[in-house]
Amino acid sequence: MSDRHDITLRVNGATHHVNVEPRYSLADTLRDACGLTGTHLGCEHGVCGACTVLIDGRATRSCLVFAVQVEGSEIETVEGLAEPDGTLHPLQQAFWEHHGLQCGFCTPGFLMLALGALRENPDMDDEELRDLIASNLCRCTGYQNILTAVRAAADMMRAKAQPAPNP
Amino acid sequence: MSWVGRRLPRLEDPALLTGQGRFVADRAEGALAMAFVRSPLAAGTLTEIEVPPIEAPDSFVFTAADLAGVGAIEAILNRPDYKRVPQPILARNRVVFAGQPVAIALARSRAAAEDLAEQVFADIEPDEPILTFADALADGARAVHPEAPGNVLVEGQLRGEGVDAAFEGAAAIVDVELRSERQSAMPLEARGGVAAFDAGSGRVTLYASVQMPHMLRTGLADVLGIPESDLRVVAPDVGGGFGQKMSLFPEYVALVWAARHLKRNVAWIEDRRENFLGASHARDQRFRAKAAFDSDGRILALDADLLSNVGAFSCYPVTCGVEPLMAFAELPGPYRIAHYAVRSRGVTTNTAMMAPYRGVSRPMLTLTMEQLMDRAARQLGLDPLDIRRRNLICEFPHTSPTGLVHDAGSYVEAMDAAARVADLEDFRQRQTRARAAGRYLGVGVSVFSERSGYGTPAFAARMMEIVPGYETVDCEMDPSGRVTLAIGASPHGQGLKTALAQLAADRLGVTPEDVRVVSGDTDATPYGWGTFASRSMVIAGGASQMASDKVADKLRIAAAQVLECAPDDIELGDGLAKVQGANRTMRIAEIARALHHKSHLFADLTAGLKEQAFYDPAGTFSNACHIAEVEVEPATGGVRVDRFIVVEDAGRLINPLIADGQIAGGVAQGIANALYEELVYDEHGTLLTTSLADYAVPTAFEIPPIDIHHMETISPATVTKAKGLGEGGTIGAPAAVIGAINDALTPFAVAINTMPATPDRVWQALRDARDKAA
Amino acid sequence: MKPAAFAYLKPENLAEALQFVADNADDGKLLAGGQSLVPAMNFRLARPETLIDISGLEALDGVNDRPEALSIGALTRHATFHKPVSDGALGRLLVKVVGHIAHYPIRQRGTFGGSLCHADPAAEWCLVATALDATMRLESSGDARDVPAEAFFRGSFTTALEPNEILTRITIPKLPDATGTGFVEFARRKGDFALAMALTTLHLEGNTIRSARVGLGGVADRALRMTEIEAALVGKPATPETFVTAGQMARDQISPRGDIHGSAEYRRDLGGALLERALAEAAEEARGAVST
C-alpha cells in the first residue's frame, strides 16, 4: 500500500524530481521534498488558506491536492513571487508598506490567493476583493490592512500592465 | 529627526513576505516525526495500553511506563486556598480530559507516525465526566482530581466593609449574569517543536513555537531532572501565540525526552485537530454581579460571584489562578468603586486545560461593568455616557479597591473623543429611522483599562512560586558600528524588533536598519520572560533604551576625547558624533572601531561597546474606549458590525503603524469572542469543534474596518513613556458589540447575556421574549 | 492529519475510468476536485484503499448550452459559473448561487458533479439540482442510465450512484425567459455551509404568480423541493403577504435537525424566513424581466 511514485514537478519554473507516496499532499511535497517551506500548513482541511499556491494559474489549497495529481502542471509558490534580483512583487511591496502582516504565517497564502485572482480579474472592485480575501484566515491583522494592501497592489499592477499614455 | 513615532514599515517583513521566514516546521527535515495517542474519553481509569508489534524500522511507541524518572508538571501558587494538581507527561492510571496525551508514536514521516498511533489502544473504564460549573460544584460531585475535593482549585474572596449598607441605601440595584463560552486563541501556526540532539555534547536544542523560551527551558529541565545548560531553547519565527504558546505543555517534555532517549532529532508538528483537542483553551466564565447606584447614577458598591472553568490542569508557570484572580483583582476596571465584595473561583473539570488567551478575564469583566452601566442608565433614565462619566476614575494616581494603582490616563476624555467620532446624536436619528423601516441598529460603548508592562511586584502579589516580570537587555555596537540588542522578550508577530530598533536608533544616532534585535534563543539572549501580558514594549523597550543609553554614553566619552570637547557637547545622530555648536564630527562607526581595536588610546574606558540594562517596572495602565455600531436582523438572528471606533491611550507610540495593527487585530479577536467563536463539548466530554469549519474564526467579510484614534497621556510609570496595548482590542471589543446588540434590541426588551451571540442565541432570546409577552 | 495510505490510479479516459471503478468497487473512491473528499481523508474519516483520479478527464469538463437545457459535465469546476454559462434566467441564477459556494480557491478546483455525489444536505448545487429537476447521467462499463434528482439523492451524503458507476453529465432544463429567480442563504461566516437556504423561481402574469419553484436546503437530510408550496403559490398575487404565508407553510413542513451551529427550531424558522426573502427576490426579478 505504501507504494511510492517518482514524479516530476514544475515549481516556479524549475523542475523537481521527487519520490512520494500518493498520500503526500502537494503542500507537504513542496515543503519536504522540494525544500520550499514558504508554503505553510495551518489547518490541512482547506479552510485557513495558508497553503494556497497557484496550479496552472489557479489559486488552490495545496493541502487538498496530492502531489501525484499535479505532474505536468505549472506550480507557483511564494518563493517565485519576487524578481530574481530580489525586487519585491507589487503585492509583497504593498503588504510591507500597509502592514498587511504580523506573524507572517498566513501571508504566503494571501499573496498567492491575490495573485491568482488578480491575474484572472485585474479590475476587482472593493466588494469583490473583500469576498476574495474572505477565502483565507488571518489571526493577527483584523484583515483591513490586507485589503488595503491588495487594493494598492492591484492598482499598481494595473498601472504597470498598461503602457504609459503619450504626453 | 526622531525615529520613534514614525510609521516605519517593519524590518521583520521582507523575509516573511518572500517565503524565507523560518518557522518550526521548516526545521523538521530529517527528524523522526512524533504523533500523540490521545485519550478519546474525558474521564476514566486507564487500565491498559495496547501497543501493536512494531515491524517498521525507526518506529517506536512509548507510554508513561517508559518515561520512568520523568516528573510531572506542577504549577504552584503559594496561597492557602490553592490545590496543586500535578500534570503527568503521559497519562498514568487515569485520564482527565479527551485529548490528554496517553502515548507517543514515532516514525520516519508524520503520516507513518499517525499510522502507528492509531494502532495504539487505551483501555479506559469511563467515569461520568465533570464538564460544567453545575457538574463540578454540585453537592457530592465526583472530584476531577483526588487532590481537590469540591473541584475548586483556587478561590479569592473579599468583602469590603460597607458593602451591605451601601446596597441597603441604594436608589437602584442592577444585577447581571453573563457568560463567555469556551474559546481558543487559535494561532494560525499550531504548536510544535523540533528537538535536535547533539551527540558530541549530549545537548538538545529545542526549536519550539513558543512565547517564553527561557521559562520553557527551566520547566523542561526541572521536569526531566537535567541541568538547564543541557538544553537550548530557540523560538524561531512564531506564527502567532496570543497566550496559547506561554505554557509548558507535556508535549514538549515528551519531545525532548524522546530526542534524548533515542539520541535522534525528533519533530512534533501539531496539526489543527490536535491544537483544538490538546492545546489550552480559554474563557468559559460565568460572572454574576450586582451593583448599587445612587439616584444620580453613582455606583455605591459592587458585589460579584465569578466562576472560571480552569479545565483539567493548572497551567505552568502562571497557574490556573490567572483567570479567576485577574477577575478578582480587576473587576472594578476603570470605575471608582468604594465598596467591593467578590468571590472568584477557578473550577476544575474534565476538559482541556485553560491558559491565558489575549485579554485574560478582562473581556468578561469589561462586559460585566459595561452591562451594569448600561442597565443602570436605563433603569435610572440616564444617558449611558453620563453614567460612565460620573463613575470613571479621573484623579491620578487612583488606587482600586484591590490596591491596584492606576497611573495617569484619559478615561473620560477618550470616551468623549470616541463619542464625537461616532456622532451619537446622528446615530440615534439613523436608529429611529431604521426602526421605522423594520431594521434594528444599535450602538455600544466600552470603556476599559489595560494593565500592562508589570514587573515582579505584580506577579509576586499573586503569590506565584515563579515570579516573572523583569527584563534584561544586552546592547552591543560592533566595530562596524552596527548594533545588536539581545533581549529576553520573545516577539512572535508583534513587530517588536522594529520598535526596539527605532528606540535604540534614536539613542545611538544610527538608523533602525543598523540595529539587529536577537530574541528567542536561550544561548544568545539574557534570561527573560518572553512576550505576553502587553509587557514587551514597556519592559524590554525600557531595558533596551537604558542599555542603548549606556552605550551612547560611552560613545560620547570616546568621541569627546577625540574631538576634544566635553562628552555632554557630543550629539549622536545621522551616524555621526557631532560637537554641538561646532563643525567637528566623527563617524560613529569610527568610534566603535576605535573602542574595539585601539582601546589602549582610551585610558578611562574599557574596551568594546557592550552594555547591559535591567528593568522591572511596577506597571502602567493604558486606557481606551471602543464604540461599536451593529445591525441585528431579528428574522435570522444575524448580527453585523457596521462600524467600530477605537480611541486608545497607550502613552507615547513608538511606531503608530504597529500600534494600530495590534489594536485592529485585537478588536477582530474581540468581535470573534462576541459573535463567532465557541468550542463545544458534548455531554460525554467529546470536543465537537475540532476543525476550522466548525470553530468559526471570522474572515475579512465579518470584520469591519477599525477606525483608530489616539490620545497620548504621558505617564512617569515607564522609562519610554510607552504603555502596553497588545490586549486592549480583545479586552474592549466584546463589551462594545454586546452592548450594541442589546441597544438594537431595546424595542423587544431583550438582553443578550452569553458570548458568542450566535444567530441562534439572538433568535432564541427574541423568541423567548415574544413567548413571554404572548 | 495525514491521510491513511492508498493506491493511486489515474485513468486516461472515461472507458478506463469505468473499468477502474468496476475493478475497485469495494474499496475504491473517485477523486474529482477533492475539496470535500481530501479534508475527510486528512481527518482519516474517509480512508479509501484506492483513489481513482478522474480530475483530468477533459471529456467530462464543460457546459453545453442547448436550447432547452444546460448539459453540465460532471467535472465542470464551480468557478466556471462565476460568469453566466448561458443567457437567460438559469445562467443568471447559477451566477447567484456559485458565489455562496465555499471560497474562491475551493471553487477553482471543486466540481459540480463532485458536489452532487458528495450529497451534503447543505450543498448549493444539490439544491439547484433538486429544485430545477436536474437529471444525472450515471455511466458504468457498457451501460448508462438517467436518474432524476429526486431519485438521485437518497439522504445525507447518500446517492443512487452504484460503486461501479460514474456521474458524467447533469442536465438542467432551462427556465422560461421571463422567470424571476431568488436564491438566499444564511451562514455563520462567508463561505460556510448554510444554516439554511432557499431557491425559488417565479413566473408572473401581471402580479399574479403563474408558476413557481420552491426548494430549501440545509433543513433536512437532503435538499427539498416544496411542491405543495409551489401549488399554493400559483394564482396568488406576488405580495409580501403571499410570501409570508409560503414561509409559514415551509416552517410547518420541515423538521430540520439541530447541530452545534443552530438548533432544530432555529433552522426551521430560518428556512421559512429565507423562503420569504427568496420569493421576494424572484418576484422583483420577474417584474423586471416582464418590463424589459
Instruction: Kindly provide the ipTM of the predicted complex, given to two decimals.
Output: 0.97
B681: nearest CA partner in chain C = C260
Nearest by CB: B9 against A96, A104, A108: A96
C191 to chain A, any CB pair closer than 8 A? The answer is yes
Q: Which of B179, B144, B70 is nearest to B351 (CA)?
A: B144
B:523-552 residues touching chain A, CB 8 A cutoff: none
For residue A160, the model assigns a pLDDT of 87
Give yes or no for a contact between C97 and C217, defined as CB atoms under 8 angstroms apart: no
Strands (E), chain A: 5-11, 14-20, 52-55, 58-61, 74-76
Is residue B317 reached through a cis peptide bond, with omega within 30 degrees of 0 on the bond before it?
yes
On chain C, the residues whose CB falls within 8 A of the CB of B182 are none
C141/chain B closest Cα distance in angstroms: 35
Nearest Cα to B269, choosing from C46, A106, C2? C2
Q: Do residues C177 and C259 lie in contact, with contact meaning Cβ atoms separated by under 8 Å? A: no
Which residues, numbered 702 to 741 in chain B, qualify as contacts with chain C under a Cβ-Cβ cut-off of 8 Å? 702
Q: Which domains occur in chain A, in start order?
A: 5-80 (3.10.20.30), 90-161 (1.10.150.120)
Q: Concatenated DSSP letters for B600-631?
A: GG-TTS-SS-EEEEEE----EEEEEEEEEEEE
CA distance B348 to B145: 8
The C residues from 52 to 71 touching A (CB cutoff 8 Å) are: 53, 55
At residue B326's C-alpha, the angle toward residues B321 and B330, to 5°, is: 160
Peptide bond into C163 cis (omega under 30): no
> In the structure, what pLDDT confidence band is assigned to residue B282 with cuts at 50, 70 and 90?
very high
Identify the pLDDT of residue B707.
98
pLDDT tens, position by position, C65-98: 999 999 999 999 999 999 999 999 999 999 999 9
Neighbours of A108 (CB within 10 A): 29
CB contact under 8 A, B700 and A107: no
Beta-carbon neighbour count of residue B9 at 10 Å? Answer: 19
List the single residue in A with minimal CA-CA distance to B271. A43
- The answer to whether residues B566 and B752 touch, using CB atoms and an 8 Å cutoff, is no
Q: With an 8 Å Cβ cutoff, are C5 and A65 in contact?
A: no
The distance of B700 to chain A (nearest Cα, Å) reads 5
DSSP A108: H
Residue among C168, C181, C26 at smallest CA distance from C89? C181
Phi, psi (deg, nearest 5) at residue B683: -70, -15
Q: How far apart are CA B704 and CA B710, in angstroms?
A: 19
**Does C7 contact chain A (CB < 8 Å)?**
yes
Distance CA(C214)–CA(C98), nearest Å, equals 18
Residue C5 to residue A21, Cβ atoms within 8 A = yes
The bridge status of strand C158-159 relative to strand C166-173 is unpaired
Please give the pLDDT value at position C290: 53
Distance set, CA A158 to CA A58, A91, A123, A151, C28 (Å): 19, 12, 8, 11, 47
- Cβ–Cβ of A104/B700 closer than 8 Å? no
Question: Which candidate from A47, A50, A141 shows the least CB-CB separation from B665?
Answer: A141
Q: Contact at 8 Å (CB) between B222 and B466?
A: no
**Amino acid residing at C156:** S
Measured between CB atoms, does B20 come within 8 Å of chain A?
yes
Q: How far is CA C250 from CA B472, C55, C98, C128, C238, in A?
A: 67, 38, 24, 18, 17
Cα B410 from Cα B712, distance rounded (Å): 8
Asked if B665 and A50 come within 8 Å (Cβ–Cβ), the reply is no
| Position A1 pLDDT exceeds 60 | no
Test mutation, A4, A31, A54, A61, chain C, max C CBs within 10 A? A61
Pairwise CA distance, residues B283 & B349, whole Å: 14
Q: Report helix, strand or coil for A131.
A: helix
Choose, out of B37, B679, B763, the residue to mutate when testing the contact with C (most C CBs < 10 Å). Answer: B763
Residues of chain B neighbouring C5 (CB-CB closer than 8 A): 111, 115
What's the pLDDT at A2? Answer: 54
Give the percent of chain A with pLDDT over 70.
Answer: 96
* Cβ contact, residue pair B493, A106, below 8 Å: no
What distance in Å separates the CA atoms of residue A38 and residue B599, rounded to the nearest whole number?
45
Whether the predicted pLDDT of B63 surpasses 90? yes
What the block records as the C-alpha cell of C164 is 461501479
* C252 Cβ contact partners less than 8 Å away, ≥ 6 residues apart: none
Of B742, B751, B728, B752, nearest in space to B668 by CA = B728
The pLDDT assigned to C292 comes to 44
> How close, in Å, is residue C172 to chain B by CA atoms?
30
Using a CB–CB cutoff of 8 Å, tell me whether C43 touches chain A. yes
Strand ranges for B349-436 from DSSP E: 398-399, 405-406
Rounded Cα–Cα distance for residues B504 and B544 (Å): 7
Per-residue burial over C147-177, b = 16 or more CB atoms within 10 Å of its CB, e = otherwise: bebeebbeeebebbbeebbbbbbbbbebbee
Query: Which residues between 84 and 113 in chain B have a beta carbon less than 8 angstroms from any beta carbon of chain C?
Result: 109-111
Q: Write out chain B residues lying below 8 Å of C195, CB-based.
A: 759
Chain B residues whose beta carbon lies within 8 Å of the beta carbon of residue C269? 763, 767
Q: How close is the nearest chain A Cα to the Cα of B303, in Å?
A: 36
Q: Do B240 and A50 touch (CB under 8 A)?
A: no
Q: What is the pLDDT of residues B90-114, one digit of tens each?
A: 999 999 999 999 999 999 999 999 9
How distant, in Å, are the alpha carbons of B108, B193, B266, C143, C288 from that of B25? 15, 8, 11, 50, 56
Contact call for residues B113 and B34 (beta carbons, < 8 A): yes
Q: Which residue of B has its CA nearest to C39?
A: B691
- Check if B686 contacts C (Cβ < 8 Å): no
- The beta-carbon neighbor of A38 closest among B19, B700, B701 is B19
> B760: which 3 cell numbers?
441562534
C-alpha cell read off for B90: 503521559
- The amino acid that residue B560 corresponds to is A
Judged by DSSP in three states, A15 sits in strand
Contact B591, B599 (CB under 8 A): no
Name the closest residue on chain B to residue C47, using Cα atoms. Answer: B115
Report whether B167 contacts B175 (CB < 8 A).
no
Between A and C, how many CB-CB pairs are < 8 A?
93
Contact (CB, 8 A) for C71 and C59? no
Segment C264-274 mean pLDDT: 98
Nearest CB partner across the interface for A64, out of C4, C10, C35: C35
Pairing of strands B754-755, B172-183: parallel
Residues in chain A closer than 8 A to C2 (CB atoms): 23, 28, 44
Q: What is the pLDDT of residue C167?
A: 98
Q: Tell whether C13 lies on the interface with A, counting CB pairs under 8 A.
A: no
* pLDDT(B224) > 80: yes
Nearest to B625 by CA among B470, B451, B433, B450: B450
Does residue B386 carry a pLDDT above 80? Answer: yes
Q: What is the pLDDT of residues A102-143, one digit of tens each?
A: 999 999 999 999 999 999 999 999 999 999 999 999 999 999
The answer to whether B453 and B538 are in contact (CB under 8 A) is: yes
- The CA-based angle A86-A90-A93, given to 5 degrees, is 70
Predicted confidence (pLDDT) at residue B43 exceeds the cutoff of 70: yes
Closest C-alpha to C197, from C116, C101, C89:
C101
Angle between helices B322-330 and B362-380 (to 10 degrees): 30
Q: Determine whether the interchain pair A130/B700 forms a contact, defined as Cβ–Cβ distance below 8 Å.
A: yes
In this structure, what are the phi and psi dihedrals at residue B445, rounded to the nearest 5 degrees?
-115, 140
Check CB contact under 8 Å for C195 and B110. no
Q: How far is C179 from chain B (nearest CA, A)?
A: 27
**Has this prediction a pTM greater than 0.80?**
yes
Rounded (5°) CA angle C265-C268-C272:
140
Q: How far apart are CA C185 and CA B362, in angstroms?
A: 35
Q: Cα–Cα distance between B35 and B278 in angstroms, integer?
A: 12
Is B694 touching C (CB cutoff 8 A)?
yes
Mean pLDDT of all residues in C278-290? 90
Kindly identify which residue of chain C lies nearest to residue A121, measuring between CA atoms. Answer: C82
List chains adjacent to chain B, taking adjacency as at least 3 C-beta pairs closer than 8 Å.
A, C
| Model confidence at B679: pLDDT above 90 | yes
Question: Which residues 6+ apart lie within 8 Å of A65 measured at CB?
Answer: A25, A26, A55, C34, C38, C109
pLDDT at A166: 59
Phi and psi, residue B575, nearest 5°: 80, 10
